[in-house]
Structure 1
Amino acid sequence: MKNLLYIGNKLSGHGLNKTSIETLGAFLEQEGYQVFFFSSKKNQIVRLLDMCFAVVSKSRKVEFVIIDTYSTSSFWYAFVTSQLCRFFRLPYVPILRGGNLPQRLKASPRLSKMVFKYAYQNVVPSYYLLEAFRKAGFENLIFIPNTIEMGNYPFKQRDELRPKLLWVRAFATIYNPKMAVDVLYELQKKYPEAELCMVGPDKDGSMKTTQSYAEEKDVSVHFTGRLSKEEWILLSSDYDIFINTTHFDNTPVSVMEAMALGFPVVTTNVGGIPFLLNDNEDALLVKDNDVKGMVRAVEDLITQSEISQRITNNARKKAESWDWEVVKEQWMSLLQ
Structure 2
Amino acid sequence: MHYSLVSSPVLGFDLVRLPAGDSAAEVLLRALGSGPRELDVLAAQHDPDVRARAWRSVREAARSVPQITDLLGQVADGLAAGAFTDEVSGPRVEAGVVRVLQGSTIADADALVRLVHHDVLDWTWSAPLDGGPRLRTETAGRAADVLADAAVSAYLGDRLPDGVRRVLASPYLHAARDLAPLPSVPEGLGEEQAGVRRVLERLARLDGTDRACLRAVADTHRAGGGEWASAVHDASWAVHLSGRVRTAAAAQLLAVRAFRAGGLDAADGAGGLWNVVSGVVHAEVVADLLSGDTRAVLLRPWVAAFGEA
Of Structure 1 and Structure 2, the greater strand share is in 1
Short-chain TM bin: under 0.3
After TM superposition, the score normalised by the length of structure 1 is: 0.24
After TM superposition, the score normalised by the length of structure 2 is: 0.25
Q: Of the two structures, which has the highest relative contact order with CA contacts closer than 8 Å and spacing of 6 or more? A: 2
Of Structure 1 and Structure 2, the greater helix share is in 2
